[in-house]
Structure 1
C-alpha cells in the first residue's frame, strides 16, 4: 500500500485557515452542548413528575448528577471533537463507523443501552436532515482546506455524526440511570438542532467569503466512467444532489418513537420528482394495481403483511425472487400475505405512495445484488433483508438521507463482506458465517424497532473491522513484496543495460564473460538494492571493476598487473556470493586473473556455478493473471483510456473478467514509482494483478475490465436505480 503523503505536501492544505476554523467552531459547539445541559434539569423534573414513584428517583438523581458533573460532561464532549479535528489536521480523518467498531468488544448490548445509542443516532440524523444543504457545502470547504479530502458525515469532525458520538461519550460515563441518559439525549435534541445549525450557517458564511475566488471541488459527485464505455458518457448529477440535497420531507416518525406504523404522516417519504419517476416506471413495467374503487392498505395492514412475509423461509425472498423482477414479486407477496390476514383481495390495493417506497427498496436490492459479485448461495442470504428494510423505509425515510443510518451501514458492511468472497480460507468462511447469523437474526427479531438493526450493526461492525484490519495488513505486505520485486527487476535491468553497453562489439575470454554475466551481475544487483541512489558509490565501484577487467582483456597495453592482483580478494568474494565455497571461489578468481595476465590460455572454460536464482515475477501465479497474453501494442488501446488509468486514485475497485467470463473485483492498492505499473489486490488483500496503464486500457478494449460498484454499496445501488428510472425519459 502506498505510504500516505506528508501533511505538508497535501494539495490545497491551509493550516492557518484550519486553525481559524477550529477556533471559531469547536469551542462554540461545546458551549452549545453546555447550554443544553443547563436546560435539561427542568425537562427531567417534568418527566419525574409524570413518572411512577418507583422511577422518579432516577430522574431526580440525574438532575443532581448533571449539575455536579457538568464540567466533566462538557470536557468529554469537547475531547472527542478535538480528537476528530486533530485527525483531520494530521491528514487522516477519523471515521465514526470505524471508531465505534473498535470500541465494541463483541458482547451483547442491553436493550436500554441500545435505546440510548439509537437516541444519539436520531439526534445526529435530526441535525443532518435540518441542515443538509449547509453540511454538504461545509464538507466541501473543510475537505478542500484540509488537503483535498472528500469529507462526509462519517469523517467531518464537526458533522452531526461526530457530534452524536461526542454526546454519547459525555453521557455514557456519567453516573446516570439508563432511562435518565435516554431522556437527557432526547431533551438535548431540539435545542442542539437549532444551536448547531446557527453555528453551521455562520461558519459557512465565513468560509464562503474566503473561498469565493477558489475553485472548490464539487460535493459528492458521480465517478468518472472509463473512457470508451457507455457509463462514461452519463453527465447527470448523483441521486443525492438531484433529489435529497434540498428535500425537507420525511418527518413521519414521532420524536420519541423511531418507527410509527399506525398512521401516515403529513410529510412525503420521498421527493416529488422521485415519486414521479417511480410511478412512471410502474405504469409501464410494474405490477398492475387493483381497481379504482379498491381502498388502499392502511399502514398497519401493510406493516403486518410485511411482518408475515418476513416469517417465511429466507424472509419470503425465494418467492419474491421467482417473479420477473423484485418489484413485481414484492407487490405480489405483500398482497398475498395481506389476504392471509383476512383482507379481501378484491377490495384493497397498495397506496401509490407506499407502492413507490416498496418499488424503490425492491429496485435497490435488485441493483445491490447485481452489482456485488456474489456466490449463488449468498443471494438469498442478503435478499432476506428485503422485507425488514421495506418496513423501515415505509416509516423511517432517514434511511435515504443519512449515510450513518444503522440499516444502511449494516447493508453496506454485509454487501462488502460477501462481495467477491470465494469462501476459500478459514477467515472468509468465518466472515460469511457471521453474515448468515446476523441476517437470520435480523429477519427473526425485527418488528418495528431499529434497535435490532443497531445491535446487529454494532456486533457485525466490530467483527468486520477486525477482518478489514487483517486485510489491510495483507495489502501492506503485498505492496512491500511488489516493491521489493520492482526494485530487483530495476536493479537487474540497470545492471544488464550497463553490461550490454560494455560488451557490445567486443570479444572477451569465456571465463571473463561468464563472470560478468553471472557473479558480477548478481553482485551489482545486490548493491543496487542496498543503495537508494542510482549512481551510488558501491555501484560506481562495481562498474569500475568491470571496466578494469574488460580493459585488461584487451592485452598488455590496457592491463595494470598490480591493480589486477589487488582485485583478487574482491573477485573471490563475488564468486562466493554467487554460491561457490571459499576454496573453489579462490580457484575461480585465480583462474580469471591468470587468463587476464596472460598466464593461461584465453579459452579456459568458466567454473561450474550453482544455478542462478529465478528472476522475480510480478504476480505470485502467472496462471491466475487476468492480463491478456498479447502486448498492448498488438491489441491496440485508446490513449484517453490509458491516461484515465494513470490518474486512477488508490482504493478504486475494478471488475476483472477472465476468459471464461468469471468476474473478480480488484482494488488499486499500490503504484510503482519505478515502472508506473498498478498493483491490484483481491478482497483478502492478496496480490491479484500488476499491470501498466496501457495493459489496462487494452483490457478495456477486449471487454475484460470495467468499473466495480462504489465502496458505498447502498449509494451505488441507488444511483443505478435512478439511472434505470431515467432511461424511459431519455429514450423519449
Structure 2
C-alpha cells in the first residue's frame, strides 16, 4: 500500500515522532540520500566551471603577475578539489545525521544565529570581503526560497520530535550549506580573489538549484505522510509589496530599477544598511539640521524629488565655471561640503516642494550616507595626489544620483559607474606634475568630471561611454609608456651585464696576478686592453665558451712569460711561448678595436722586452718606456678600463658588497621590499627633492636592484633592496595600495561603521552648525 494513502502513516505537528524511532531513521536516511545525491552533482558542476572562469579572467588580466596568479589558482583548485568536495559533503551528511539529536550536537556550530547576521567587529580585508559575499548569498537565497524552505523546516521539525528547525539550523538551508562550503575552502591555499570566484560559482550552480532539492525533499516527506496537507501562501508577493511600501514613490523607470535591485536583497548595500541600522538604533531619521531625530509623521521625499534637488545642486556647481587648478586648502573645504550635502539637499527639496521635509526614507538615507562616506574616503586617501582628490571629490552629486537610480552600484564590481571611478583613481595614482608636463592626464580627468557635472541627468549610459573613452586614452598612453619602459629596462640590463662582466674580468686577472709584481708594460696590457677583451668575450660568447677559456689561458701564459729566463731551458721555453702570445694578443687587441699601427707599436715594445728577458744586448734607444705605452691608449667609450693598479684590489673586494647600509632582515620594511612586485606604485619624498610617484618596473635578476619609472615609462630611480628598505623605514618612501579604490573604500566604511565610536557622515553637522 502506498504510504501516503495510509492514514496510519500520516503525521502532523501534534504527532511528534520519537527521534530514536526506526521511522525517523528511515525518513532522515531518505533526506540524506536526496541531499547527498543532488549536492554532489551540483558541487561537482560548480568545480567543473572553475577552470574556465579563472582562465577567462587570466586572459583579461592587466599584467603578467596577475595572470600567473590566476593560473596558479587553477592548479591549486585542481589539486585540492577532491578534498574540498569531501569536506563539504561530509559536513552536510554529518549535520543531517545529527539533526534529530540537537542536544548532543548542533549543526550550526560556529554558524550565525540568523541568516545575514553581521558581526560588528573590525576584521581583515580578506575576511570582510568573504563575510560580505557569504552574507549576500545567504540573504538572497533565504528570501528567494522562503516558501519551499519553510515547508522543509516544518517537516523536519516533525520528524525530529518537535524540535524547531529554522533556516539557521537546517543543514540543507543556504546558511549551513554556505558556511560548510566556507569551512571546506580552508583546504585551499589560494588567496581571496580566487576564492571569491569559487563562491560565485557555488552560488550559481549549488544555491541557485536548491529549489529542486527542496521540492524533492518535500515531495518525499509528504508522500511518506509527513504533513501531506501542508499549504501556505506565497510570501514573495507580500515581501515585494512591503518593499514598495517602505521605499520612496518612484516613476516607472526608477521603480523598475528598484525592483531589479530588490531581487538582490543580499547585496553589499543591504549589508551596509544593517550596519547603518545598528549604528542609529530604531525609529530615527534625518533631521533638518543633518542630525538624527525620532521620525515624525509627514510625506517622505520621493526619488524624483531627491533627483530633482540633486540636479539643481549639480547645475549650481556646473555653472560656477571650469574647475580651477587645485589649491592646498581645497581638500579641507570639499570635506566640509561632503558633510553638508545632506542638509543642503533637504533645503533644496523644501524650496522645490514649498515645505522642507524633516527626514528621508531609510534606504535613501543609507544611500546618501554611503556616498558621503565614499567621498570622505577619497578626500582622505593618500593613494591619490591632492590635485586629483579635489577633482574626483566634485563627483559626489553625480554619484549620489547614480546610486539612487541604480542601487546595484555598490554591490556589483562591474557596474560602469564603479569601474569609471576605479579607473580614474588608478590613472590618478601615478600622476605628478613632473610626469604630466603636457597636462594630458590632468585635462582628461578634468574633462570627465566636467562631462558628468554638465551632462548627467538620468542616463546611466554616460558612465559606460566615459569609461570607454578613458580606457582608450589609457591604452594609448600605456603603449607609449611600455615602449619607454622596455627601453629603460633593456638599457639598465645592458649596463648591469657590462658591469658584471667587468667585475668578472677584473677578478680573473687579479686572482691570477696574486702577489706577483709584474712589469708595468705587462700589467698595463692585462689591466686595460686584455681586461676589455675579456669583457667583450663574456658578453658575446659567455663564460663557458672556448673563446673565454682561451683568453684566460693567455693571462696565465702572459704572466708566466715575465718570469726570469736564467737557464738555457727556461729561455728555450720562453721562445716557444712567444709566437702563441703574439698571435693571441694581436687577435685580442683587434677585438677591442685597437688600430693596426697601435698593435704593431705595442708588439714592438713587447719584442724589445722579451729580448731583454732572453739576455740579448740592446741599444739605449731600444729600452722600453711606459709613459706613453701603446697599452695605455684610449679605448672606445663602450668598454672603459676596468681596473687600475691603485684601485684594483679595493674594487675587487667590494664588487659584491655595494650595499653598505644595514637593515634588519626581520624588519617589516625588509619583508615589504621582498614582497614588492613589478607594477607596484610607490611615493618618494626625498630630502631637497619634490615628491614623486614611481612604479616598480623591473627587478634585476643579476644585481637584485629595483628599477622605478614614472607614468610615462621614464626612469625615476633604481635602488638596492636594502636602500629601499631604509627609505621605507625613514618614511621617505611609501607603498601605494594596489587594490581598486571602491574596494578599499567599502572595506574602510564597513570597518568604520563597525567601530563603537563610529559616526557616519550622515550624522555630521550640516551647514550652518558649529563644526569646529
TM-score (norm 2): 0.58
Q: Distance in 2 between matches of 1:460 and 1:87?
A: 26
Partner of 1:299: 303
Asked whether 1:341 is paired with 2:352, we answer yes
1:632–1:433 CA distance, 2 compared to 1 (3 A):
same
SS of the aligned residue for 2:439 comes to helix
1:515–1:344 CA distance, 2 compared to 1 (3 A):
farther
Partner of 2:291: 288
Please give the residue correspondences for 1:510-659 in structure 2 after superposition, counting only pairs within 5 Å.
510-532=520-542, 534-556=543-565, 557=570, 560-578=574-592, 580-598=594-612, 601=623, 604-605=626-627, 606-607=629-630, 608-610=632-634, 613=637, 633-634=660-661, 636-641=663-668, 642-659=670-687
Structure 1 residue 657: Cα displacement: 2.4
SS of the aligned residue for 2:707 comes to strand
Match of 2:58 among 73, 89, 93: 93
Q: Distance in 1 between matches of 2:336 and 2:278?
A: 17
Q: Distance in 1 between matches of 2:592 and 2:358?
A: 86
Partner of 1:687: 715
Structure 1 residue 357: Cα displacement: 2.3
Q: Distance in 2 between matches of 1:86 and 1:357?
A: 32
Please give the residue correspondences for 1:110-509 in structure 2 after superposition, counting only pairs within 5 Å.
142=74, 144-145=76-77, 214-220=187-193, 257=253, 269-271=269-271, 272-276=273-277, 279=280, 287-289=290-292, 292-293=295-296, 295=298, 296-313=300-317, 322=333, 324-325=335-336, 327-345=338-356, 347-371=357-381, 376-423=386-433, 429-509=439-519
Q: Distance in 2 between matches of 1:727 and 1:307?
A: 34
Q: Distance in 2 between matches of 1:213 and 1:292?
A: 46
Which of the two has higher C-alpha Rg?
A: 2
1:511–1:426 CA distance, 2 compared to 1 (3 A):
same
Q: Distance in 2 between matches of 1:139 and 1:540?
A: 43
Q: Distance in 2 between matches of 1:256 and 1:497?
A: 82
2:58–2:71 Cα contact (<8 Å) kept: no
Provide Cα deviations, 1:285-305, integer angstroms capped at 9, x if missing partner.
x95246754755332222222
SS of the aligned residue for 2:58 comes to coil
Q: Which moved more, 1:385-394 or 1:573-582?
A: 573-582
1:144–1:217 Cα contact (<8 Å) kept: yes
Structure 1 residue 213: Cα displacement: 9.0
SS of the aligned residue for 1:367 comes to helix
Structure 1 residue 512: Cα displacement: 1.7
1:667–1:682 Cα contact (<8 Å) kept: yes
Structure 1 residue 571: Cα displacement: 2.2
Q: Distance in 2 between matches of 1:590 and 1:512?
A: 13
SS of the aligned residue for 1:496 comes to helix
Partner of 2:158: none
2:728–2:734 Cα contact (<8 Å) kept: yes
1:505–1:710 CA distance, 2 compared to 1 (3 A):
same
1:637–1:697 Cα contact (<8 Å) kept: no
Q: Distance in 2 between matches of 1:320 and 1:521?
A: 60
Partner of 1:101: none
Partner of 1:44: none
1:297–1:350 Cα contact (<8 Å) kept: yes
Structure 1 residue 410: Cα displacement: 1.0
CA RMSD of aligned residues (A): 5.1
2:258–2:406 Cα contact (<8 Å) kept: no
Provide Cα deviations, 1:106-126, integer angstroms capped at 9, x if missing partner.
xxxxxxxxxxxxxxxxxxxxx
Please give the residue correspondences for 1:702-721 in structure 2 after superposition, counting only pairs within 5 Å.
702-721=730-749
Structure 1 residue 577: Cα displacement: 4.7
1:676–1:378 CA distance, 2 compared to 1 (3 A):
closer
2:519–2:562 Cα contact (<8 Å) kept: yes
2:76–2:190 Cα contact (<8 Å) kept: yes
1:261–1:395 Cα contact (<8 Å) kept: yes
1:560–1:378 CA distance, 2 compared to 1 (3 A):
same
Please give the residue correspondences for 1:27-46 in structure 2 after superposition, counting only pairs within 5 Å.
none
Partner of 2:28: none
1:505–1:278 CA distance, 2 compared to 1 (3 A):
farther
Structure 1 residue 700: Cα displacement: 2.0
Q: Distance in 2 between matches of 1:648 and 1:531?
A: 34
1:212–1:494 CA distance, 2 compared to 1 (3 A):
same
Provide Cα deviations, 1:647-693, integer angstroms capped at 9, x if missing partner.
43333333322225854333333222222222233222223332233
1:573–1:372 CA distance, 2 compared to 1 (3 A):
farther
Asked whether 1:672 is paired with 2:604, we answer no
1:337–1:215 CA distance, 2 compared to 1 (3 A):
same
Q: Distance in 2 between matches of 1:145 and 1:398?
A: 30
Q: Distance in 2 between matches of 1:473 and 1:576?
A: 36
Q: Distance in 1 between matches of 2:681 and 2:726?
A: 18
1:344–1:139 CA distance, 2 compared to 1 (3 A):
farther
Provide Cα deviations, 1:552-588, integer angstroms capped at 9, x if missing partner.
1122249633332233344234334545422123212
Q: Distance in 2 between matches of 1:255 and 1:675?
A: 65
How many pairs align? 528
Provide Cα deviations, 1:135-161, integer angstroms capped at 9, x if missing partner.
xxx99964734899xxxxxxxxxxxxx
Q: Distance in 2 between matches of 1:665 and 1:425?
A: 9
5+ residue gaps, structure 1, are 1-20, 30-80, 99-137, 149-192, 195-200, 223-236, 617-629
Q: Which moved more, 1:543-552 or 1:138-147?
A: 138-147
Q: Which moved more, 1:268-277 or 1:713-722?
A: 268-277
Q: Which moved more, 1:514-523 or 1:211-220?
A: 211-220
Q: Distance in 2 between matches of 1:591 and 1:479?
A: 44
Structure 1 residue 273: Cα displacement: 4.0
Q: Distance in 1 between matches of 2:185 and 2:373?
A: 40
1:506–1:455 CA distance, 2 compared to 1 (3 A):
same
